Amino acid sequence: MISAINSGLSGLAVHSAMVGVAAGNLANLNTTGYKSSRLALGTLGTAFSGGYTVGQGAQVLGISRNFSSGPLLSTNSEFNLAIQGDGFFKVRQGEADVYTRDGTFHLDKDRFLVDAQGNRLQPEVQLPPEAASMRVDGNGHLTALDAGGNVVATADIPLFRFANPNGLESLGQNDFRPTEASGPPLEAGAGGSLVQGALEGSNVDPAQEMVNLLLGQRGFQAGIKVLQTAEEMLGSILDIRA
């Protein structure tokens, strides 16, 4: 009886988390550079029945992210940059460096390259007043040109990687902060490349997330029925003893 109640309660917790993760992924289907989340599940405790060891339900061990590349979305904006492969941009947020896959850059009033929240790309890139356009190759080498096509400035946009990207702390707005679990930022090297005039789309698979959402909802309903059945059985036992 207790095992049934424990299984029902753990099922409610797991399937509620499944619904929350799937709903969050679907809500960010059109978020630039968004990485889908997924649940890591495990067995909750053990019990012995008839000489066999059985689980007492499931539990959520954690939530990880799928850092595979999303699709390329052409924007035709020379300031937009998409990462293909490994790597993160580094931007300055307040007094700290944070890392993002969102390459929605533009020029601020001082002609620095900044992200959608106004955080400056690191190392800082400032285009001179005479720069009329810029080109960025796959290795992150930026060339600023004047109206006549002459080179007026150059810079490099490095990408950074982490030994364990799932150890990064999410700050929202597609920004991440390194932790002891993620390890320090490292140069991405040949693991990633840049595409100018494009953005990286979300890597959410809407069909899979709809399936997960339905499974979570059905599982939650099943957990409620298990608890209702256990309650009825417990009531019957108490009535018999009375």
Exposure pattern of 127-166 as b/e (b: 16+ CB <10 Å)?
beeebeebebeeebebebbeeeeeebbebebbbbbbeebe
Alpha carbon distances (Å) from 236 to 77, 159, 231, 242: 70, 65, 9, 10
pLDDT, position 53:
47
pLDDT, position 5:
58
pLDDT, position 236:
62
Angle at 31 between CA 25 and CA 33, to 5 degrees: 95
Sheet holding 89-93, edge to edge: 106-107, 113-114, 120-122, 89-93, 96-100, 175-177, 169-172
Side-chain-side CA neighbours of residue 224 (13 Å): 8
pLDDT, position 196:
97
pLDDT, position 242:
55
Question: What is the pTM for the complete model shown?
Answer: 0.80
pLDDT, position 184:
95
In angstroms, the CA 140 to CA 208 distance is 34
- Tens digit of pLDDT at every position of the chain (242 positions): 555 555 666 778 888 889 999 999 999 999 999 999 998 887 766 555 455 444 566 788 888 899 899 999 999 899 999 999 999 999 999 999 999 999 999 999 999 999 999 999 999 999 999 999 999 999 999 999 999 999 999 999 999 999 999 999 999 888 999 999 999 999 877 678 999 999 999 999 999 999 999 998 888 787 777 667 766 666 666 566 55
In the numeric block, which tokens belong to residue 90? 């580094």
In angstroms, the CA 240 to CA 218 distance is 33
pLDDT, position 124:
97
pLDDT, position 192:
85
pLDDT, position 55:
54
In angstroms, the CA 115 to CA 79 distance is 10
